[in-house]
A and B are shown apart, each in its own frame.
Chain A
Amino acid sequence: MMWSWIAANGAQIWQLTWSNIILGVIPPLIGLAISLPLGIIAARWRWFYPPTLTVVNVIYAIPALALFIALIPALGLTDTNVIVALTLFSLCVIVPNVIAGLRGVPPSVRQAATAMGYGALRRLITVELPVAVPVIMGGLRVAMVSSISLASVGQLIGVSSLGYLFIDGEQRDFPTEIYVGLVLIIALALAADLILVGIRRVLTPWMARS
């Protein structure tokens, strides 16, 4: 380890870290916004569920790099390319969790809500979605960690991220750079996960603490 290198390149490291944050954090949030309606539809109309699951699974099977390259004709070598690709990946985790979360609402709770006089939409928004929050947040956490990590692969199509440190470090046979990139990505993922756990706790004061 060359600690002096870190100090000397602080500005660049910070800039790469910030890019990685943007590229990694935005996709799961967009993914959540898309997954909620998809998951609601699939939970409500059962026939919609198998095709949805098949599509998201097929997307998940595509290597990240291949997806970036496939999107180049449409989106070029841009941040947008990486964000779109990672959003698609995040759907693969979040959609099934939205469905599982909604299906996991105890039938007695749903039935009681109906019997109290809730309409379908109001029941969904004020009862079913809040009760599904823990499972949905579980999906969001996995998507977030994987997205922050995959964002570094975007460097292979020239989109700036902590991935730069791996490629540059390997080319210059300079392990310090690689270690710094690795540690920062893991730290970012952990921090994002902790924040999400915190948000989940705030949203679900009604859960038994285990």
Chain B
Amino acid sequence: MRDPEAAATLWWLDEFSRAGWVGDPVSVITFERVTKRYPDGTVAVNALDLEVPAGKIMVLVGPSGCGKTTTLRMVNRLVEPTSGQILLDGKDIREQNPARLRRGIGYVIQQTGLFPHRTVEDNIATVPVLNGWSRAKARARARDLLKLVGLDQALARRYPYQLSGGQQQRVGVARALAADPPVLLMDEPFSAVDPIVRASLQDQLIALQTELHKTIVLVTHDIEEVIKVGDLVALFRPHGRIAQLGTPERLLGAPADDYVAGFVGFDRGIRRLSFFSTASLSLDTGPVLSANATVASARASGEPWILVADGKPRGWVQPDKLGQYQDGTLLGQVPAEPIGHTFTVGTNSLRAALDAAVLSPAGQAVGVDGYGNVVGVATFDRLRAAVQAAQTAADAAAALEPSESGAPA
């Protein structure tokens, strides 16, 4: 179900369908025994079998030289396979003229590849113009896309050199989406921008995908990006073999071998917590006292640490260290230690909750609701219990879907 605003942004989808430019809204990409061998004998991709399901984000990850980018570029025929075939919705991509094929496949690269001599709107309008749209109509479309990727329409007449790196990358995404292609190829799209901009671009991609449901192949070397945006992940070994294919959670939770475990890193256990919700984490309200409560009540609680809160969390105090204060002093008036950061219950993952506990002087994570009001606190013990429960549940679920994990021979 689309909300009304999203539907308004996407008016052109209907127009596209009416004009017959869009067949199926989403496509399946299938690699069948695809090999790419270069003239010097290097094997970049080796007998690859891979299916990218319609409407999903498939992340290709691996060390440099593992063939992930070659794999991506074979989809729009920038690289031709030596043997095997690639199917788009069951049809061999070689049946179509390459230029026609490419106009139906969005392409986003790290260096953006924006045309420096064209304004932002004309960059975005590239493929619609190639498809025979009038310039005026294509530009109108370009302005809609600017909005879609979160850019101010005032940028439409600027040239690429006048934009920041993050803005350029957004324009690159808008350009790739301009003709509403069912397939999007993204080659390290967010690697060249700083971490804050990267996080916002990733959020944008996730938001776009919930509306657009493209079939996306995304290449990265960043395991965090896999965790954040991937529906599925294919981890490549050098020379184009897949070491493990499955969900990012399975990659972290059940690495197929030492190579996979080594690639995802020593902190794969921590990273995997990104997939586990805090919704079922049981929180403790015992150590939470109002700022209007007295020092006496803190002492009486028997807790080593008290979270002082007036709706919002204010800080941690240690009753043992309050000797200089009289029983009647209010907790809001004694110095408190900062809480570090909180986690939003149900929204943030166990990873965020664990991090909050690690950074807290009390060793307890402060859970808040959507308004920032304290719900309760979680000790390491409670977090550990939640982690174990979530892992058990995930492993049990994975056992029921054997196709989702394990490496092809």
Question: Chain A: residues with CB nearer than 8 A to chain B?
Answer: 106, 108-109, 111-119, 127, 130-131, 133, 204-208
Given the interface pairs A130-B117, A131-B117, the reply to whether A115 lies near B78 with Cβ below 8 Å is: yes
A117-B113 in contact given A206-B118, A208-B161 (Cβ < 8 Å): no
Residues of the B chain whose Cβ atoms lie less than 8 Å from the Cβ of A119: 99
Asked if A207 meets B114 with Cβ closer than 8 Å, knowing A116-B107, A116-B126, the reply is: no
Q: Report the bound CA distance from A118 to B131 in whole Å.
A: 10
Sample of 8 more A-B contacts, CB < 8 Å, known A108-B113, A116-B103, A117-B127: A108-B109, A108-B111, A111-B78, A112-B114, A112-B115, A115-B107, A116-B175, A131-B117
Cα distance A206–B114 in the bound complex, in angstroms: 12
The residue among A116, A127, A206 with the most chain B CB atoms within 10 A of its own CB is A116
Q: 8 Å CB contacts to A: which residues of B108-122?
A: 109-119
CA–CA, A88 to B400, complex, Å? 77
Contact A205 B99, CB 8 Å, known A108-B112, A115-B107, A131-B117: no
A118 touches B161 (CB 8 A): no
8 Å CB interface, B158-179 against A: 159-161, 175
Chain B nearest CB from A105 CB (Å) reads: 9
Kindly list chain A residues whose C-beta atoms are within 8 Å of the C-beta of B37: none
List chain A residues, Cβ under 8 A from B78.
111, 114-115
* Interface membership of B228, Cβ < 8 A: no
Residues of B bordering A, CB below 8 Å:
76, 78, 99-103, 105, 107, 109-119, 126-127, 130, 159-161, 175, 185
Distance of A2 from chain B, by nearest CB (Å):
52
What residues of B have a CB within 8 angstroms of the CB of A127 in the complex?
115, 117
Contact B102 A115 (CB under 8 A): yes
Which residues of chain A have C-beta atoms less than 8 A from B105's C-beta? 115
* Contact, CB under 8 Å: A109 / B116: yes
Which residues of B have CB within 8 Å of A116? 102-103, 107, 126-127, 130, 175
Please report the C-alpha to C-alpha distance between residue A152 and residue B185 in the assembled complex, in whole angstroms: 59
A131 contacts which chain B residues (CB < 8 A)? 115-117
Q: Are A117 and B161 in contact (CB under 8 A)?
A: no
CB-CB nearest in chain A for B130: A117
> Are A205 and B130 in contact, CB atoms less than 8 angstroms apart?
no
Q: Closest CB of chain B to A133's CB: distance in Å? A: 8
The residues of B that contact A115 with a CB separation of less than 8 Å are 76, 78, 102, 105, 107, 113, 185
B115–A117 CB distance below 8 A: no
Given A112-B107, A114-B102, A117-B99, check contact A206 B126 (CB 8 Å). no
Q: Is A205 within 8 A of B115, CB to CB? A: no
In the complex, what residues of A have CB within 8 A of residue B115's CB? Answer: 109, 112-113, 127, 131
Best-buried of B105, B116, B160, B161 by chain A (most CB within 10 Å): B116
Minimum CB–CB distance for B143 against chain A, Å: 19
Q: Name the distance in Å between A121's Cβ and chain B's nearest Cβ.
A: 11
Question: What does DSSP make chain A's interface, helix, strand, loop or mixed?
Answer: helix
- Sampled A-B contacts (19; CB under 8 Å): A108-B109, A111-B113, A112-B109, A112-B112, A114-B102, A115-B76, A115-B78, A115-B102, A115-B105, A115-B107, A116-B103, A116-B107, A117-B99, A127-B117, A131-B116, A131-B117, A206-B118, A206-B119, A206-B160
Contacts of A106 in B (CB 8 A): 111, 113
A192 to B101, CA, bound (A): 47
In the complex, what residues of B have CB within 8 A of residue A112's CB? 107, 109, 112-115
A207 to B118, CA, bound (A): 10
Which residues of chain A are within 8 angstroms of B99 by Cβ–Cβ distance?
117-119
Judging by beta carbons under 8 Å apart, are B159 and A206 in contact? yes
A86 to chain B, nearest CB (A): 31
Q: How far is the CA of A204 from the CA of B117 in the complex (A)?
A: 7
Q: Which residues of A contact B185 (CB under 8 A)?
A: 115
Q: What is the bound-complex CA distance between A204 and B160, given in angstroms?
A: 13
Most buried by B among A112, A113, A115: A115
Chain A residues whose CB sits within 8 angstroms of the CB of B126 once the complex forms: 116
> Are B113 and A206 interface neighbours, CB within 8 A?
no
CA distance A131 to B109 in the complex (A): 19
Output the least CB separation between A56 and chain B (Å): 27
Distance to closest chain B CB from A159 (angstroms):
40
Q: How far is the CB of B29 from chain A (nearest CB, A)?
A: 15
User: Considering the chains assembled together, what is the distance between the CA atoms of A106 and B127 in angstroms?
Assistant: 20
- Chain A residues contacting B159 (CB-CB under 8 Å) are 205-206
In the docked arrangement, what's the CA distance between A115 and B101, Å? Answer: 9
Contacts of A108 in B (CB 8 A): 109-113
5 interchain residue pairs of minimum CB distance: A112-B113, A117-B103, A108-B111, A115-B107, A117-B102
Find the A residue at minimum CB distance from B109. Answer: A108
